[in-house]
Amino acid sequence: MDRSRGVPFVDLVAQHAELKDELTAVFHRALASASFIGGPMVQAFEEEFGRFCGTRYCIGVGSGTDAVLFALIAGGVRPGDVVITVPHTFIATTEAITHAGALPEFVDVDGSTCNLDPDRLREYLEERCTLDGSGRPVSRRSGRPVTAIVPIHIYGQPADMDPILDLAERFNLTVIEDACQAHGAEYFSRKTGTWRKAGSIGRAAAFSFYPGKNLGACGEAGAITTDDEEVAQAARMLRDHGQSRKYDHDIEGYNGRLDAIQAGLLSAKLTRLAGWTKARRERAKTYDELLRGARDIVPVIEPDWARGVYHLYVVRVQQRAEVIAELSGAGIATGIHYPIPLHLQRAYVSLDYAPGEFPSAERAAAEVLSLPMFPQLTAEQQERVVQALLRFTPAA
C-alpha cells in the first residue's frame, strides 16, 4: 500500500499553512495585551460572527456543548421539562439537555436528509402528548411538560425549519437550533420567501468551533446566536458564573467563557469561511457527479430549500464494513457519523427506549459513511476516493 497516495479525512495543517502569519500574530497580540479571557478580541469576534449569521447578538462561550446548554437554559428550559431532539446526532446535544435538568425525548429523522422529520414531530405532538390546562403538551411517555425542540442541522444541511416552527408555535415550544455543524448554511423559508442563515431561524442557536468544524478554533470554543435580548443577557450571565457585574451573582452559572486567543484565531479564519464553504460545495457537487449511477452508494440529498455547507459529505452504503476496508486499504480515511443512535447508547439505558423505535435513525446509523471533505481536497484526491468506492461497488 502506498500511504503517500492516501487521502486524509480532513487536513487542518493545510488550512493553517494558508493563514500562518495571521494566526501567529493573534498569539503575539494576546501576549502583548495579557488579555486572555474576554476583552476586545472576543467582542470583535462576537460582532463579526453575529453579522455573519444575521443575528443581533452573538455570545462567545467555551464550546458547542456549552452553547447548547446555555441556549436551552436562557431559552427558558427548566428542570423536569422534556426537550425533543433526534437520536441521529452527536451526544453533546442530549448531554446539554440532561445537564439543563431536562429529559430528552426523541423523534425520528427523515432518511433522505438524516435531519428531523417534521411529520414524525407532528405525530409525536399530536399523538404522544396530551394538552394540559394551558394548552401545553405533556408527554405521555414521561408525564412531563414538553417545552423545547432542538433540531440539528446535521452534516451542515439545515433541517426543514418551516414546519418545525409552525408546530413550535402551535404547541408553544421554544426552538433552539443545534447549528454546530452548519456555519453559513442557508434555509429557504417557503413561508417568507427568503433565504435565512442557520443560527438565525430559531429563538437561539448553538455553534461549535471545535478544530475540525467548518470554522474551527485551535482548541475549544463555541457561540450562541440570537435576536432575543433576554436570551442574550441570560447566556452572557450563564457563561460567567451568573454575574451581571463583577462579583454580583444573580444566579449560579458556569465557567463557560470564550478565550481571547481562540476568538482572535476565529476572526482571522472567518474572513476565509465563505471561500472555504464555496470550495466544500464544489467538492460535494463533484462527488455527486462522480457517484451518479453508482449502485448501492446513495449520497444524503440536499433539498431545493437548502444550501448546505458540507461539514461532512455522507453517503449511504449497504456493506459498510467492507467498503471501509477497501478504502482504508487504499489509504483513504473515512468516518461514521454516527454509528450508534443515541436511544441505543449505554448512557441512555435509563431512558428505556428499545431497538426498532426509530427505524430511520437506526438504518442511518448502520449505513452512513463520511468521505474525505475539506476545502483543500484536490480533484485528484476525489478521483481516488471515488475509484476505490467504485472498485467495491461498480457503476450499474
Ligand X SMILES: *Cc1c(COP(=O)(O)O)cnc(C)c1O
Q: Whole-angstrom Cα distance, residue 260 to residue 34?
A: 10
Size of interface with ligand X, in residues (CB under 6 A): 14
Among residues 85, 89, 277, 360, which is the contact residue for ligand X, using CB under 6 A?
89
CA 44 and chain centroid, separation: 23
Among residues 104, 222, 335, 341, which is the contact residue for ligand X, using CB under 6 A?
222
Query: Which region holds residue 121: left if phi is over 0, alpha if psi is between -120 and 50, else beta?
Result: alpha
Residue 61 interacts with ligand X (CB under 6 A)?
Answer: no
Among residues 210, 254, 358, 374, which is the contact residue for ligand X, using CB under 6 A?
210
CA 47 and chain centroid, separation: 21
Contact yes or no for 104/98 (Cβ under 8 A):
yes
Residue 310 interacts with ligand X (CB under 6 A)?
Answer: no
Q: Whole-angstrom Cα distance, residue 112 to residue 366?
A: 14
Nearer to ligand X, 171 or 207 (CB): 207
List b or e across 297-321, with b for residues whose CB sees 16 or more CB atoms inside 10 angstroms.
bbbbebbeebbbbbbbbbbbbeebe
* CB atoms inside a 10 Å sphere around CB 77: 23
Q: What is 348-385 written as a DSSP string?
A: GGGG---TTSSHHHHHHHHHEEEEP--TT--HHHHHHH
Nearer to ligand X, 68 or 167 (CB): 68
Nearer to ligand X, 214 or 382 (CB): 214
Which of 137-146's residues contact partners 24+ apart within 8 Å by CB, and which partners? 137/171, 137/173, 139/82, 139/105, 141/105, 142/82, 142/103, 142/105, 144/80, 144/81, 144/82, 144/103, 145/80, 145/81, 145/82, 146/81, 146/82, 146/83, 146/84, 146/105, 146/171, 146/173
* CB atoms inside a 10 Å sphere around CB 58: 24
Nearer to ligand X, 64 or 375 (CB): 64
Nearer to ligand X, 26 or 182 (CB): 182
Q: Whole-angstrom Cα distance, residue 128 to residue 272?
A: 46
Residue 262 interacts with ligand X (CB under 6 A)?
Answer: no
Nearer to ligand X, 55 or 89 (CB): 89
Residue 181 interacts with ligand X (CB under 6 A)?
Answer: yes
Among residues 71, 121, 152, 317, which is the contact residue for ligand X, using CB under 6 A?
152
Residue 180 interacts with ligand X (CB under 6 A)?
Answer: yes
* CB atoms inside a 10 Å sphere around CB 25: 13
253: enclosing H helix or E strand = none
329: enclosing H helix or E strand = helix 320-329
Nearer to ligand X, 129 or 164 (CB): 164
Instruction: Find cell 408525564 and name the residue.
Output: 143
* Stretch of residues binding ligand X (CB under 6 A), selected from 141-149, 177-185, 268-276, 325-333: 177-185
Residue 63 interacts with ligand X (CB under 6 A)?
Answer: yes
Q: Considering the complex, what minimum distance in angstroms separates the CB of residue 20 from ligand X? A: 24
* Stretch of residues binding ligand X (CB under 6 A), selected from 11-19, 60-68, 168-176, 352-360: 60-68
DSSP tag of 347? G
Nearer to ligand X, 137 or 264 (CB): 264
* Stretch of residues binding ligand X (CB under 6 A), selected from 59-67, 163-171, 246-254, 285-293: 59-67
Residue 361 interacts with ligand X (CB under 6 A)?
Answer: no
Residue 64 interacts with ligand X (CB under 6 A)?
Answer: yes
Among residues 26, 46, 57, 65, which is the contact residue for ligand X, using CB under 6 A?
65
* Stretch of residues binding ligand X (CB under 6 A), selected from 88-96, 166-174, 237-245, 267-275: 88-96
Nearer to ligand X, 75 or 145 (CB): 75
Q: Residue with CB nearest ligand X?
A: 64
Instruction: Give the three-state DSSP class for 261.
Output: helix
Per-residue x/- mask for ligand X, residues 14 to 43, rule CB under 6 A? ------------------------------
Among residues 26, 69, 92, 231, which is the contact residue for ligand X, using CB under 6 A?
92
Residues that bind ligand X (CB under 6 A): 63-65, 89-90, 92-93, 152, 178, 180-181, 208, 210, 222
